[in-house]
Amino acid sequence: MKILITGCNGQVGSCLVKLLQERKNVEICAVDRAELDITQQDAVSRYVASFKPNVIINAAAHTAVDKAEQEIELSYAINRDGPKYLAMAANDIGALMLHISTDYVFDGTKDSTYVETDLVNPQSIYGITKLAGEEAVAEACPRHIILRTAWVFSEYGNNFVKTMLRLAQQRDALGIVNDQFGGPTYAGDIAAALIEIAQNIMGSDNLFDSANYGIYHFSGLPHVSWCEFAQEIFNKAVNQELLIKSPDVKGIKTEEYPTPAKRPANSTLNTNKITTVFNIPASNWQLALDHLVDYV
């Protein structure tokens, strides 16, 4: 199996490369913007036609949620146009297209977990452009899987876990939002899920039901608030002797911590579909915090 990974230096991309390098009978081509600018259609077409992957995994995205409110054109270029060009190139050579999306396609007002068929209503430029990317991929390449996820963290890049560990070293008390809820998701679990999906489809000898292409939700359980997530990080850090003691954590309302981009109050994703179709369980984010030394 030949796999092209875009965004290879991001959180999920880094985990994909690490996991796939350990696999036999897999040839990977891992690129970031320096090697392939996915916003340039001709470059994408040439690159894909040359490498001829069986699977394209797009882990590239403009994920700076607040910056996106100002960087609108760039957000559309990376989050909509790039995925579209990759999907078109995948379709041209009959490759499978795997694309990562986000909980931000929802407005967060639902009282229960979001399923794949719920109406979308993004409230930020990031969410709007990621939804546009979903639609572009689905239109350009019938053989696609769109994986919506949430609250991604890992040993790589910048994320909430790393920020909390850094702030805990600097402050005795922290105010953290307690009225936004979601499922923290370990990037390594996202990478493993994508690989499992690719192997399932490519190894099915054309037995994969085409009705199962489309959108899947994958995130962590249990669902928590940002405040609860932070407290668990601190507890784990104390147990692992990375912190002498946990800072005092005070829950605050969203309006007490204003940001340029609006965040959904409810980011909880229902992951039953991916478990039913691919036998992939929800991300165990608590287990992923057992080696915090790798995050500092």
Active site residue 156: no
Query: Rg of the chain's alpha carbons, rounded to an integer?
Result: 19
48, 79, 45: which is closest to 65 by C-alpha?
A: 79
| Greater pLDDT, 282 or 203 | 282
**Residue among 92, 3, 97 at smallest CA distance from 51:** 3
Stated as kind and residue range, the H or E segment containing 191 is: helix 187-202
101 beta partners: 148
Q: State the pLDDT at residue 207.
A: 75
At 93-134, the pLDDT tens digits run: 999 999 999 999 999 999 999 999 999 999 999 999 999 999
The pLDDT assigned to 22 comes to 86
Give dist(CA 54, CA 265) in Å, integer: 38
Report pLDDT digits (tens) over 144-182: 999 999 999 999 999 999 999 999 999 999 999 999 999
Catalytic-role residue among 126, 156, 213, 295: 126
DSSP 3-state helix, strand, coil percentages of the chain (rounded to 5)? 45, 20, 40
Give tens-digit pLDDT for 202-247.
986 667 888 999 999 999 999 999 999 999 999 999 999 999 999 9
Burial 262-274, CB ≥16 within 10 A → b, else e? bbbbbbbbbbebb
Q: Which helix (H) or strand (E) holds 216?
A: strand 214-217
Q: What percent of the chain has pLDDT over 90?
A: 95
Give how far Cα 12 sits from Cα of 46, 57, 117, Å.
Answer: 25, 10, 25
Dihedral over Cα of 103, 176, 59, 26: its sign: negative
What was the pLDDT predicted at 14? 98
How far is the CA of 250 from the CAs of 54, 176, 244, 279, in angstroms?
A: 49, 6, 19, 38
User: 285 and 159 in contact (C-beta within 8 Å)?
Assistant: no
Every domain of the chain and the residues it spans: 2-157+184-223+268-285
CATH T-level fold of 2-157+184-223+268-285: Rossmann fold (3.40.50)
State pLDDT tens for residues 136-150: 999 999 999 999 999
Exposure string for 192-216, b = 16+ CB within 10 A, e = fewer: bbbbebbebbbeeeeebeeeebbbb
Are the CB atoms for 85 and 58 separated by under 8 Å?
Answer: no
Q: How many beta carbons lie within 10 A of that of residue 58, not counting itself?
A: 26
